[in-house]
């Protein structure tokens, strides 16, 4: 069973709280317990809150809203 969470923009902060994440002063998603550690997309890129569209199982994969990331997300949820 594939487990992916997708959501509306208004739920971003609530989703981050559920996964023990926060946002730093520059707008990047970070580990709440270690604010210097930014979360990475499956491509190894740091993810800003305004780019954040989904979380998938697999060490908590955070997906950005660019086309390549959305295609990878689509493949993951099939």
Q: What average pLDDT does range 4-8 have in this prediction?
A: 71
DSSP-H helix ranges across 1-66: 12-18
Q: What average pLDDT does range 40-60 have in this prediction?
A: 82
Q: Where are the domains of the chain?
A: 4-66
Residue 57 pLDDT: 63
pLDDT for 47 beyond 70: yes
Instruction: Classify 46 as helix, strand or coil.
Output: strand
d(Cα 18, Cα 62) in Å, to the nearest integer?
A: 13
Residue 23 pLDDT: 96
Q: Is the pTM of this model over 0.85?
A: no
- Residue 3: pLDDT band (50, 70, 90) is low
Q: What's the mean per-residue pLDDT of the chain?
A: 81
d(Cα 67, Cα 32) in Å, to the nearest integer?
A: 28
Overall size of the chain counted in residues? 78
């Amino acid at each position: 069973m594939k487990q992916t969470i997708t959501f509306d923009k208004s739920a971003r902060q609530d989703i981050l709280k559920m996964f023990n994440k926060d946002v730093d002063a520059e707008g990047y998603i970070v580990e709440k317990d270690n604010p210097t550690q930014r979360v990475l997309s499956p491509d190894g890129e740091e993810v800003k809150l305004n780019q954040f569209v989904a979380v998938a199982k697999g060490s908590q994969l955070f997906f950005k809203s660019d086309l390549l990331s959305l295609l990878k997300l689509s493949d993951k949820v099939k």
